Amino acid sequence: MADQKRVLILATNGFEQSELLGPKQALEDAGFSTTVASPEGGTIKGWNHSDWGQTVPVDALLSDVSEVDFDALLLPGGQMNPDILRMNDDAVDLVEAFNDAGKPIAAICHGPWLMVEADIVEGRTVTGWPSIRTDLANAGADVVDREVAIDGNFITSRKPDDIPAFSKALIAALA
């Protein structure tokens, strides 16, 4: 369908496996198109609880994607993935571009670190993994501890257990 909504998933090696694959599957089941973008081509490897997990094919290079081609941005967590990406200027610029365009940004677990790096959380209500809540607060966010926090175009969640509510909120934002 020509008007199918498109969601960009920004990730690199070390993404939390369930936080990429769970929402990706929910979005696709709801009829949305997903594209995994990464700084590196080929495949990226997930982290599954306490060890390396599945690989996921990279559909597009980070350097080749733009917010104009997508309706929303999904930022999976895991500790390594957002920590690596927040040091990548293209990744941070992309997050900022989605925000400037007013498009939904859905970030789970450590994913909101990228929103902090893009300097877009000040005055916004967000949640995240407990270890990044101080970072969120120091960046000026109103930090809450709940399954999903929705504030304008922001959708944030804390952990893998929140994936169903997180996915539902993103799907509702796109509907």
15-65 residue pLDDT tens: 999 999 999 999 999 999 999 999 999 999 999 989 999 999 999 999 999
- Single out the catalytic residue among 56, 109, 116, 174: 109
Q: What is the reported pTM?
A: 0.97
Specify if 1 maps to a domain: no
51-73 residue pLDDT tens: 999 999 999 999 999 999 999 99
How many domains are there within the chain? 1
Segments forming the whole domain that contains residue 159: 6-174
1-5, 22-26, 56-60, 133-137: which range is least confident on average? 1-5
- Single out the catalytic residue among 86, 110, 133, 158: 110
CB 21 within 8 A of CB 53: no
CATH number at residue 131: 3.40.50.880
Across the chain, mean pLDDT equals 97
Annotated catalytic residue 109: yes
Specify if 58 maps to a domain: yes
Specify if 116 maps to a domain: yes
Annotated catalytic residue 49: no
pLDDT at 1 > cutoff 50: no
